Structure 1
């Protein structure tokens, strides 16, 4: 049995990863986080603490031979350093869940792993200005520290993630409007295009990457090959729901002026190549319509539970 330590693991992608990992029946699963959303799953040892508290890490995490550490919630270089410097026991493989937004917007599409990286915060993103740049700096610090400590490392960069447990108002933004019989506002141009990845695919890829020599010292985009526009999203939603959705088109200027919270950029593509990891692992991404169907089925279950709870 391999010892796997997960930093995070209670929310969205981390939670799905824990569930998929438990199905494998060959891992001792340990989860370290602040304990705000307990997993309470058989086969998971939950360890409560703040990842930025070095003393707590030393006290709570057991001294073991860790085959792999999967980090879902590091956002700054210091957070990586605290874990690596404080972790009891030995560590073979550190997998860091980064993001495709570490890349600059370039015209050579789809964006591949070797594209130019951000050289500073993106002020145009307002409160999220530091996100992509900090993730890139965290990747760099991870590579440097792991080399010094003799730890193998991998960075995985998912594109837009959708699926069960998603707390971000992405697909649920549309599902809520459809549920309430409201008109869905769409940009009056059919572009831009976006790359997505189904959250279960991300989890399965991480599992295939655990202690896999093919991924050591490398970074990979995690991105399905389909390119999806707002119009295509509506087509998919109509297919899985089985009815026509009321839509209305509006200019980007009016959408911004009226502060309509469409979840994806209106003025640029987000197109990434995920074939590197696909070819290496022999992995097939879930088709967008199939993954979104499962996501909608989960959404309906949540809505049903909420009605019963009232």
Structure 2
């Protein structure tokens, strides 16, 4: 069977690419800009190009048919409309990568199924993903376009340690703070529940849906069943680094006041307790279960990151921001206590 991935070397997609490269049932082609060419397995065909270059892409697709097309870098309705133009009649199944952050905020219940309403007033990223899903499902109903929507929720891998703040881009600076004995910021009181899925586990669920006729026209979330608090996540991460975490708990509202761009990632996502029900995935992919506990996965990440200087990207501005926020929070508490000393004798 033939598959085409748009992207294929990111946090979510790289695990699937590696797994398919070892799967004799699949012949994989990836289309991307070639910035991570060294990370692509040798037996995966690479088309180097820009998905937005219509003339070049249509030339590549001429005479081609893929059993599966998966776009890992489609984020807006305009990009989905572009894909519909490319892949109508050229694929047996089209995968759109949604997001667990699309579910309603605040949640009516922390247990999330695929039928949980979609609504996120805090994050444009999530609203765009919702709009993409609506467009694709309407296309499925009107023309039979063979779409499968998958919803991941905070996937991590060996090149990135996941944190509530700075997990994707400034994670190395958080690691540095931990190793230097400096305090690290945890939103809220650290007891909200969260789910972290290793990309190898996500890949198993995803591949089980590829070419699966029962998944066409369906929405399926793919996560681990393991649920942790943010306090546990930070402490397990520190243990993997061989240090003890110094946690400073600061409310999400305070953090957003210090950096408004955090409103979506916090109020629209990571400060909300979530537990994902994977019953639908397990019905569609019998035998699926996530195998990598976070304490195991984060040790792999720590070993990789500490031994690969190319992923150790310092961010002194983020480091200073953390220091400034922690100082402002501490001064605020001290000021209040000074004005009301009798309560704190």
- TM-score w.r.t. the length of structure 1 is 0.84
Greater share of helix residues, 1 or 2? 2
Q: How does 1:1-310 map to 2 (within 5 A)?
A: 2-38=1-37, 39-87=39-87, 90-105=90-105, 106-118=107-119, 122=121, 124=122, 129-166=123-160, 168-169=168-169, 172=172, 174-187=174-187, 189-252=189-252, 255-256=255-256, 267-281=271-285, 282-285=287-290, 286-303=292-309
Structure having the higher Rg: 2
After TM superposition, give the deviation of residue 89 of structure 1 in Å: 6.5
Find the residue that maps to 1:85 and give its secondary structure.
Answer: helix
C-alpha distance 142-170 of structure 1, shift in aligned 2 (>3 A) = farther
More moved, 172-181 vs 45-54: 172-181
Greater share of strand residues, 1 or 2? 1
Mapped partners of 2:88, 2:115: distance in 1: 34
After TM superposition, give the deviation of residue 74 of structure 1 in Å: 0.8
Unaligned runs of 5+ in 1: none
After TM superposition, give the deviation of residue 101 of structure 1 in Å: 1.7
Mapped partners of 1:172, 1:41: distance in 2: 26
C-alpha distance 190-150 of structure 1, shift in aligned 2 (>3 A) = closer
After TM superposition, give the deviation of residue 209 of structure 1 in Å: 0.9
After TM superposition, give the deviation of residue 279 of structure 1 in Å: 4.2
Question: Residues 241-274 of structure 1, C-alpha deviation per residue, up to 9 Å, x if partnerless?
Answer: 3442333444556545555999755753244333
> Is 1:33–1:49's contact at 8 Å kept on the other side of the alignment?
yes
- TM-score w.r.t. the length of structure 2 is 0.76
Unaligned runs of 5+ in 2: 161-166, 314-345
Mapped partners of 1:12, 1:267: distance in 2: 22
C-alpha distance 71-191 of structure 1, shift in aligned 2 (>3 A) = same
After TM superposition, give the deviation of residue 43 of structure 1 in Å: 1.4
Question: Residues 20-46 of structure 1, C-alpha deviation per residue, up to 9 Å, x if partnerless?
Answer: 110113221111123333245311221
C-alpha distance 32-149 of structure 1, shift in aligned 2 (>3 A) = farther
Mapped partners of 2:248, 2:225: distance in 1: 28
